[in-house]
Structure 1
Amino acid sequence: MAAGEPGCPGGFYFRFLPQRTFSSLSSREITSRLRQWSMLGRIQAQAFSFDQAFQPYQKDDFVMAFFKDPNVIPNLQLFSDSSEQWTTLGTEVKNIEAINVPCTQLSMSFFQRLYDENIVRESGHIVKCLDSFCDPFLISDELRKVLLIEDSEKYEIFSPLERDEFLFRLFKHLCLGGSLCQYEDMLKPYLETAKLIYKDLVSVRKHPRTKEIQITSSVFKVKAYDSAGVCYPAAKEHEQTFSYFIVDPIKRHVNVLYHCYGMGEMA
């Protein structure tokens, strides 16, 4: 019996939390930015609660139980490229992949080196460069070079481990956007939006003894497979199609951040 099926000892049970809203994705200023980046209407966050203690080593059982849960199946949303609408899974998940994503950053000073390395000017303007392509992305500035071109001069200012950080991933996803993304000239909108989404999704607490702020969430990048192959976050894989599960073991909540690459809402 698979974890999470009714009657399974030790299985996780979930409940959809429709009342939990994410202002970082719904405020007027952010929706305007998401529209410009061709992500509006194709990105969203949902919250679910679960019923027992969670340890990161249980991630595979936890995620499989999630996809099997009768409270998740009719409520977990994904974007259908064929109908251009939000839908639910509608297929039986046979297998999952849950990759650990480090989540340790507590400050946006993580990105200060973009200024130090003259990728962004002191004024906040992103330095332009000659146009090139890193399929399917147009590279017209030094920021996108640092994000995408591994043999570029300044790619190594972020280590592989730093690039794996959830905060860096969020920032990169916003910078690259959807298929009709209009890039920003200034760094600030990317940093501000990444910070707001990060704070909205990730839980922190003050350590009772040291009083230091600690991140308590665990983050996983998730894929699910049915008998035909990948079915979630989408059958068609793309760097900008993703689902992250952000698990708060103290509140027993899981936030699901989802995006499907394509043409976002225009008006």
Structure 2
Amino acid sequence: MAGEGCEFEQTFSFSPLPAKKPSFLQDRDTLALLMKWSMLGRISAQCFSFDQSFYPYKSDRFALCFFRDPNVVSSLRNMKGGARMTLDRPVVCVDVEQVLCTEVSMKLFDPIYSCGVLRPSGHVVKCLHDVYPDYDELRQMLREEDSEHYSVIGREERREFLFCIFKHLCFGGELCQHEDTIDPYISTTKLIYKDLISVQKHPETKKISVVSSILKVCAHDDSGRCFPGGREEEQTFAYLIVDPYKRHVTLFYHHYGVGSFDIKAEDL
């Protein structure tokens, strides 16, 4: 957890990049799916530039400066949607978790297609559950360690940002209408992931690698957690995706709850 000290060490300044809007927030088919999954108006991404070199070992300081920056505070106060940040009090500390991000293809999900979670048609196998009605083998495999299919995705792969996005989409919002097939989850995960991360190709080997650093973040003021807001819930999340070369950072977040706020179906 990072606390006081930002003023006395390296300080980052941030500027909004309103023209840099991820394509998944402009794609009609994706927006329709997010509405179906009860995430529309509650999931978003905001882009900013920053003025100093970023180093992963200084992630805590970077995140603390981000949530204290006047331009960030103003942008989050004025945003549309349910994850708006009021920031009536200054942020005093942040929790930062570095998230693995190495995948450059969708091969991570290949084991799901042959382990019994899906039918040959791609339809998700339904199952009974004591707690969750209308449950299926896919969500059980994603969430419950005692699932017979849990181990088909290794623990290291489950730490990947690509997998985190997929899992978030599969569980959706509070009134999520879950898909009967896996394809919409996979295609939307791919689109969002490509939108958010930056890659480079090695000039000699031609190998593509991810250059982005992913930070899962939570900001606190002197009264407790202030961003992402709402009760602590796995589906209320915030990530900072940092491109150290362009000096761009994207805040990708979702606020779990009911309703899509001021975005309506006729707006799609």
Structures share fold, TM-score greater than 0.5: yes
Structure 1 length-normalised TM: 0.91
Deviation at 1:79, TM superposition (A): 8.5
Structure 2 length-normalised TM: 0.91
Q: Which amino acid aligns with 2:44?
A: Q
2:122 corresponds in structure 1 to 124
Q: Which amino acid aligns with 1:58?
A: K
Q: 1:229 aligns with which of 208, 213, 224?
A: 224
Q: 2:107 aligns with which of 106, 109, 133?
A: 109
Deviation at 1:130, TM superposition (A): 1.9
Q: Is the 8 A contact 2:228 2:255 kept in 1?
A: yes
In the aligned structure 2, how far is the partner of 1:35 from the partner of 1:264?
9
In the aligned structure 2, how far is the partner of 1:132 from the partner of 1:80?
37
In the aligned structure 2, how far is the partner of 1:155 from the partner of 1:191?
18
Q: Which amino acid aligns with 1:103?
A: C
1:67 corresponds in structure 2 to 67
Q: Is the 8 A contact 1:229 1:235 kept in 2?
A: no
1:261 corresponds in structure 2 to 256
Q: Which amino acid aligns with 1:146?
A: M
Determine what percentage of the aligned residue pairs are the same residue. Answer: 49
Q: 1:87 to 1:93 in 2, by over 3 A?
A: closer
Deviations 1:8-30 (A, max 9, x none): 55211111111111111231101
1:207 corresponds in structure 2 to 202
Q: C-alpha root-mean-square deviation of aligned residues, in Å? A: 2.0
Q: Which amino acid aligns with 2:246?
A: K
User: Helix, strand or coil: the match of 2:73?
Assistant: coil
In the aligned structure 2, how far is the partner of 1:91 from the partner of 1:80?
20
- The size of the alignment, in residue pairs, is 259
Q: 1:248 to 1:77 in 2, by over 3 A?
A: farther
Deviations 1:20-79 (A, max 9, x none): 111112311011100110001111000000012111001011011111112111012598
Q: Unaligned stretches of 5+ in structure 2?
A: none
Q: Is the 8 A contact 1:93 1:224 kept in 2?
A: yes
In the aligned structure 2, how far is the partner of 1:51 from the partner of 1:11?
9
Q: 2:153 aligns with which of 152, 158, 164?
A: 158
1:34 corresponds in structure 2 to 34
Q: Unaligned stretches of 5+ in structure 1?
A: none
Deviations 1:172-206 (A, max 9, x none): 00000011000000100000001000000000011
Moved more, 138-147 or 236-245: 138-147
